[in-house]
Structure 1
Amino acid sequence: MSAPARAAAPAAARAQPRIPQRFWIGLVAVIVYVALAAGVSSLLVDWLAPEGELAEFALSHIPVLLPLIIAGLVFARRSGWAEIWRTPAAFETRPRRWWMLVIPLLMLTQSIIVLTLTPWGNWDILGIALVALITAMVGLGEELYFRGILRSSLRANHGETLTLLVTSLLFGAAHSFGSAIHGEPVGTIAFQVGVTMLDGVLFYAAFRATGRLWVAIALHALSDFTLYLSSTNLADQNAIDVSTVPANIAIQGTLWALVVVVFISAMRQDLAARRSRRVVEQTA
């Protein structure tokens, strides 16, 4: 064996993941995350009965999210799944999809608009810091498990379209888990799944556009942070009179239209990949 070949062999071995990238592994990971995040938090609140909105908000998030995030980070490190944190950006592959960068930019702009309309007088420093900490944990946890571990488990063996669809659908279903437990009408649950699924597509697109998971994490955390601060209470993540601002209406409409474009782009990418494989097979 030549010297270059001997040098390449260890590098190839290191590139192999220590844990096989199987969909069931990613699925189990998100099921555990959702079940513990929703179930244990409710038990803690019912058991300890904290006084005050901020205390309940902290108790329902921090004790549960912290171990889940640690477990996810340990898995990401030891599994060898490099795609959890990094994937080829849309502008690094051919054809170069520079247009996808519009999605994270619009999402950032939308959050900035909400921040400018936030009633800061309703909050003190402690409350703002606590919301910032918890939303950062939520952004890291959900993106690590859904766009990181789950996406990597699917993308290793399937096309972009199926990966996009499944991760976004499960993301939407996960955010309706609480509504299902409390017996909300089927129509309400279906609407929640649909709306949150669109958010999942946008976070997925932000990751694909930049190739860095931290971008999706930051956008997710910032979005939750702005919506919580703009709401009347921490149990209702709806911005007050912010969604009716003309600029936000225009941005949201544009983002929803781009969701369709993202799916079309994913389908075209899969079609091009299949054609490329056929050419290689015919040549071989």
Structure 2
Amino acid sequence: MAERELSVDQGREHRSAWARFWNAGSWWKALLFIAVYWGVYQLIGLGVTTLAAGLVVRDDILSTPLSVLFGVAVPILLAGLLLLLFARSLGWIRPLFARQPVEGRAWMWVAVVLVLIPIVVRLVATQWSAWSVAQVLAILFLGLCIGLTEELATRGIIVRMLRSGGYHERLVFVLSSLYFALLHAGNFVSGQDVATVAITVVYAFGFGAMMYLSLRVTGRLIWVILLHAATDPTTILATGGIDTHTAAGGASGLLSIAGLFGIAYVVLAVLAVFLVKNRSDAGRSRASTG
């Protein structure tokens, strides 16, 4: 009996040490988390695509619904489930999906609008006849997997980690967007050329900034997940590829218009560095307005 109680006590001490480590957030712990997450995701992807090699069309991953599911969606979904387990081990599930502790400002709604407009434009621009219903459903499911996993990792866990470390909100904004961009730098390993990866990383920083601002102004992670979940599949359906901006799948004129919003993301991201207030300043602002 005594041995069992000792084992339980040791387990509690181990869990508390684990929680203490991650709750004492810092920039390097957040970077470590992102690096480990990226590595685990790559291993999951390698494992799934190896086991389902007969279903994945490597030269044209979007060509069949099963290729979309097992080539891209399932690895991302499994990574997302691991993130949920990680958050659960720290007791973070409820606070991650609860109302945000730091309120947004009215100007931040601009980010939501800038994300929504190109989604609508791409829906109009898509040549739907080029896709089967099964392909569309598979790509929409992929979008949900991407939205859940990437937002849980960056606007969820990373933002909470940095805030728990006492970082000013401006730095939380910059670092969380930067780490999101670094995740996409890993596309170089998959064989993409340097120029494409560089463009993707810059775009990802701008888009990550839009997601942070959307998190602040909507107040809940779920809305950011849904915004992200609508962005990727509409881009894939309109352009005919992943991380591409060509007109292979849609009307080139409309896609050019949608592409301009990527520039707008980066511009607003730079401006937001100066507009986002530190938490202490935001607190004084709320106090002064009652």
TM-score of Structure 1 vs Structure 2, range by shorter chain? 0.7 to 0.9
**2:278 match: secondary structure:** helix
* Pick aligned residue for 1:60 from 71, 83, 95: 71
Using the size of structure 1 for normalisation, the TM-score is 0.76
Distance in 2 of aligned mates of 1:242 and 1:37: 34
**Which of 197, 203, 208 is equivalent to 2:205?**
197
2 CA distance for matches of 1:103 and 1:195? 14
Amino acid paired to 2:269: V
Superposition map of 1:27-176 within 5 A: 27-45=31-49, 48-50=53-55, 52=57, 53-54=63-64, 55-81=66-92, 83-85=95-97, 86-88=99-101, 90-91=103-104, 97-156=105-164, 157-176=166-185
Classify 1:87/1:67 alpha carbon distance in 2 versus 1 (closer, same or farther; 3 Å): same
For normalisation by structure 2, the TM-score amounts to 0.74
TM-superposed CA distance for 1:239, in Å, is 4.9
Map of 1:256 onto structure 2: 266
Residue 206 (structure 1) aligned with residue 214 (structure 2): yes
- The percent identity for this pair of structures is 25
Question: 8 Å contact 1:147–1:213 — kept in the other structure?
Answer: yes
1:218 to 208, 220, 226: 226
CA distance in structure 2 between the partners assigned to 1:190 and 1:150 by the alignment? 23
Gaps in structure 2 of 5+ consecutive residues: 1-17, 58-62, 286-290
Aligned-partner residue type, residue 84 of structure 1: L
Supply the distance in 2 between the matched residues of 1:133 and 1:160 (Cα, whole angstroms): 33
How many residue pairs align between the two structures?
A: 252
Query: Taking structure 1 as reference, are residues 28 and 88 closer, same or farther at Cα in structure 2, changes over 3 Å only?
Result: same
SS at match of 2:148: helix
Pick which of 80-89 and 210-219 moved more: 80-89
Q: Is the 8 A contact 1:172 1:194 kept in 2?
A: yes
- RMSD (CA atoms): 3.1
